[in-house]
Amino acid sequence: MTDFQRFKGAAKKLDDIDIPMIAKTIDVGEDELHAIIEVETSGGGFDKQDRPKMLFEPHVFYRQLEHKQHQRQRAIDQGLAYKKWGTKPYPPDSYPRLQNAMIIDESSALQSCSWGLGQIMGFHYKMLGYESPQELVWKFMEDEEYHLVAMVKFIEANNIDDDLRRHDWAAVARVYNGTGYAKNKYDVKLREAYAKWSKIKDTPIEGV
């Protein structure tokens, strides 16, 4: 068993001040970030077992193993990798799949998951400032603040911070959810979540 197979760290939740302070780094309010978090993970970065919320994507694992044909075939034979998204339904808990995939190739497996509050794919670890996908996961096991900082870095790196400031939800959705966002009504969900949070009093940050 690897050290990752429990996936449990401190599992610290966000402090109230974290969202407006981190939002301020890209000149948006907390309501914009709340909207994305709500649509992605219903507002929480950890599951009932205090593990980072995670979805293992077999079609991404298939891609990650492109130059590792022996490992790819093992993953295919075990139902852990396939070429096209949607080939099979997702199980209620992705961790058993991930644990089996890690036996085949740990780094590729960790990169094949979406992680935390913002459900950022593990293969973005360098973009997010991490040396390895393992480091990303370790940090995400510790504190939701790391999840939120990573989400904001992803927004900046993909140049949708301006779109977020303009509340161009379609543009945000296109990057965040893919070109099929309209079918999923992802932009509508973002707009509705933002409208809800706009009616809730913000956390004051004056003097911080």
Average pLDDT rounded to a whole number, residues 148-173: 96
pLDDT of residue 2: 46
Residue 161 belongs to what domain range? Answer: 16-45+144-200
**Hey, how many other C-beta atoms are within 10 angstroms of the C-beta on 171?**
17
Evaluate if residue 131 carries a pLDDT over 60: yes
Element (H, E) at 116: none
**pLDDT tier at 164, thresholds 50, 70, 90:** very high
Total domain count, the chain: 1
Does residue 190 sit within a domain? yes
Evaluate if residue 208 carries a pLDDT over 70: no
Does residue 34 sit within a domain? yes
CB of 61 closer than 8 Å to CB of 101 = yes
Give the residue, 92 or 204, on which the prediction is more confident: 92
Evaluate if residue 1 carries a pLDDT over 80: no
Choice among 28-32, 42-46, 120-124, 185-189 with the minimum mean pLDDT? 42-46
Residue holding tokens 């490992």? 71
The mean predicted confidence, pLDDT, of the chain is 93
Does residue 117 sit within a domain? no
Output 203-206 pairs: Cβ under 8 A, ≥24 positions apart.
Answer: 203/16, 203/17, 203/19, 203/20, 203/30, 205/17, 205/20, 205/21, 205/24
Evaluate if residue 129 carries a pLDDT over 70: yes
pLDDT-above-90 percentage for the chain: 87
- Rounded CA gap, 181 and 164, in Å? 16
Does residue 7 sit within a domain? no
pLDDT tens track for 137-149: 999 999 999 999 9
Average pLDDT rounded to a whole number, residues 37-50: 93
**pLDDT tier at 5, thresholds 50, 70, 90:** low
**Hey, how many other C-beta atoms are within 10 angstroms of the C-beta on 10?**
9
Does residue 115 sit within a domain? no
pLDDT of residue 204: 80
